[in-house]
Amino acid sequence: MSAPRRSGPTEYRDGRVSLQVLSHSKTSTSRDCPAKFGYRYVDGLRPKTEKDPTRIRGRGMHAGLEAGFVSWIWCRMLGLALGLEPGDAVVAIVDAARIGVRRAHRAALAELEAARQSGAAIEVIDDVRERLEEAYEADAWAVGHFFEVVGARDYERKIPVLVEHAFDVPIVDVSGRRGHLRWIGYFDCVMYDARTRTLELWEQKTVGTNAGSDEHRRRIEGDPQTTSYIYALRRELAAGGLDAAIAAVSGFVDLSATPDVQRIRAIPVGTVVVNVIRRKKPSEPKTLADGTISTDRRIDTLPELYAAALEGQREPHGLTKAEGDCQEAQAAFSAEQDPKAAEKLGKKLERAKQAVQKKRAAFQATRAKQADLLERLRQRGDTFLAEVEQFVTDHECERWRSEMWVEAERMRRIEKRPAERTRNLGYCTAPGRGCTYRTLCYSGGDESVRMQEFTTPAEREAHELEREEDRAAEREEQAGPEPYSAPAWG
């Protein structure tokens, strides 16, 4: 069957049927603000600042996760033949993930260099480059930490079946028949668990604060995206879209499994594992001037890093010096024969011993504070990686399916009737970076604002054609003139 033909902002023509295509971002936008939905998905407007070099962030985290999961598959598939130990496999997966981050980082730097050559301000380029370097360090550490933790826990009993898999499934009507609605998106990763013989949907979310906070957990548990993706996974599985992928890898974790189609399509699906990954490197424990490790409770680090720093800690410099002075005083006192001089040296020795006792007591107090801080860090746990696991029931999927038919009808009204494109003032004033279309919306859709700040689909297409012509001309110029060839005479 040929690919569906586009015939509107959210509609496609597939034969004689008009398909309405929905996605998580599209439905979220329509719920947030009908006016924003109209600007973005009906008019197709995109801000010109999307090509601004200050918005270059790179795809380090995303690329690293994808590379790590793909390496996981290869390690499991080749591990049996090569005799690869699980610990060595996890090291290889971590290395592959960090290489993925580095490649994405280089691509972002290349994009930044292209922006510089096109005339972007040097000071802007330098600022973005510095931020990219910081992001690279954080992303490389974060993906490595993620695969170290989940690899040690799950490598031997789980294997990725799908990585970055695009799906396009029907949203059936109340009677279970295929209608005109389609649901599209991407699965981050689908895991096969040999212990439970089930499929798990793995989604990775990045945050900037404590990954294990209750706020992040509440948002994840109330996010309809996980329900919608379980619905899509079940539809794909039932339709046979995963037969080949599951048959190819399931035997490497479940040696009793056979690539039987009926068995594959009956695999239970419902568990969602959301891995919350913090995009920040933990702070290194600070060594104070006296050589001891800081006991500042504001430190943002992992308990194992703090414990490792304590293991390498030596006695404070002041205590070492006091003990040396005491030993010298003891030697001088023992060697002195004159009673009067010995009396003076005895007093000096006593003062030296008191200084040692004082320094040692202070060090013991510091050690007690360090032990208390280490225990606090252990109780707090890993704030850089958290797992939220939930099970999506049939009832939740049915509720989501029913709601999507209502949402689809509302989106069609927004597309057909401009009066339905109302503002959500609560969304306009919500904390955060603000709505992309704020100036255009507040101007009442003024065309001069539109031309200054946004592009239409037609303008982007024309610009892309122009760029392609420029690239073709550049390739032709680099190739130089065609080599001379003598005419062929008959």
Distance (Å, whole) CA 42 – CA 33: 13
Distance (Å, whole) CA 145 – CA 150: 9
Least confident of 25-39, 57-71, 439-453, 471-485: 471-485
pLDDT of residue 53: 59
pLDDT band at 319 (very low <50, low <70, confident <90, very high): confident
pLDDT of residue 7: 39
CATH numeric code, 50-156 = 1.10.132
Q: Is the predicted pLDDT of residue 24 greater than 60, yes or no?
A: yes
DSSP β-bridge partners for residue 187: 165
Report which residue type is found at 427. Answer: Y
For the entire predicted model, the pTM comes to 0.82
Q: What is the pLDDT of residues 171-217, one digit of tens each?
A: 998 888 888 899 999 999 999 998 888 999 999 999 989 998 999 99
Across residues 466-473, what is the average pLDDT? Answer: 70
Q: Is the predicted pLDDT of residue 332 greater than 60, yes or no?
A: yes
Question: CB-based contacts of 27: which residues, under 8 Å, 6+ apart?
Answer: 404, 407, 411
Is residue 159 within 8 A of residue 76, CB to CB? The reply is: yes
Least confident of 51-60, 160-169, 199-208: 51-60
Across residues 236-246, what is the average pLDDT? Answer: 88
Least confident of 230-239, 342-351, 401-410: 342-351
Residue whose C-alpha is closest to residue 415's, from 98, 35, 113, 23: 35
Q: Look at residue 294 and give its three-state secondary structure.
A: coil
Q: Is the predicted pLDDT of residue 487 greater than 50, yes or no?
A: no
10 vs 115: which has the higher pLDDT:
115
Q: Is the predicted pLDDT of residue 340 greater than 50, yes or no?
A: yes
DSSP class of residue 474?
Answer: H
Residue whose C-alpha is closest to residue 183's, from 6, 415, 409, 401: 401
Strand 385-391 versus strand 454-455 pairing type: unpaired
Which own/partner contact pairs does 257-261 have at CB distance under 8 Å and 24+ positions apart?
257/194, 257/197
Distance (Å, whole) CA 286 – CA 398: 53
462 vs 470: which has the higher pLDDT:
462
Is residue 252 within 8 A of residue 76, CB to CB? The reply is: yes
DSSP class of residue 55?
Answer: G
pLDDT of residue 232: 96
pLDDT of residue 194: 86
Is residue 405 within 8 A of residue 181, CB to CB? The reply is: yes
Q: How far is CA 26 from each of CA 20, 50, 57, 259, 421, rounded to the nearest angstrom?
A: 12, 18, 23, 37, 14
Q: What is the pLDDT of residues 103-156, one digit of tens each?
A: 999 988 888 887 777 776 677 778 888 888 888 999 999 999 999 999 999 999
Q: Look at residue 410 and give its three-state secondary structure.
A: helix
pLDDT band at 252 (very low <50, low <70, confident <90, very high): low
Is residue 49 within 8 A of residue 55, CB to CB? The reply is: yes
Q: Look at residue 60 and give its three-state secondary structure.
A: helix
Q: Where along the chain do its domains lie?
A: 18-47+418-469, 50-156, 157-281+384-392, 303-380
Across residues 13-31, what is the average pLDDT? Answer: 79
